[in-house]
Amino acid sequence: MIREGDRIPSLPLVAVDAEGQRAVKADELFAGKRAVLFAVPGAFTPTCSQRHLPGFVEQADALYAKGVELIACVAVNDAFVMQAWGAANGVADKVLMLADGGATFTRSLGLEMETGDFGGVRSQRYAMIIDDGVVTRLLLEAPKAFEVSSAEYVLSQL
């Protein structure tokens, strides 16, 4: 499992923003900047849609004021789902949506979970503070919890 002090791996993701969809390498995306990456088990699911993503949209200005240059949300969903979910939550240019459709990135971090018929392999819920591609804080939630990966908690760690 990825740990504090580890580098973000060079693996593909699909970034979704106002300009559309584009392939990115995770290590290149986070190189040279201070970033917050948070992961959700699934787009359009209750906690993810009602609290997790909206919290980062609401706290984006405060996070950017503390020196964060990029806020990104990753889920094991395809790019079309991430695009629709971002639009439904008004992320605009506040949060970059990242699709990990095959869970390659999530598995490489060792942060996958098997949900069976709920959706198969999904990501555990977490947030990371990343400085120039290095994880400086890993905030991993206990199963079914939502505390340390919230935008408010991340803000308190900066």
Active site residues per annotation: 48
Decide: 73 and 56 in contact? Cβ < 8 Å: yes
Within its chain, how far is the Cα of 69 from the centroid? 14
Q: How far apart are CA 158 and CA 144, in angstroms?
A: 25
Q: How far apart are CA 53 and CA 18, in angstroms?
A: 17
Q: Which residues pair with 123 in a beta bridge?
A: 112
Q: How far apart are CA 16 and CA 83, in angstroms?
A: 6
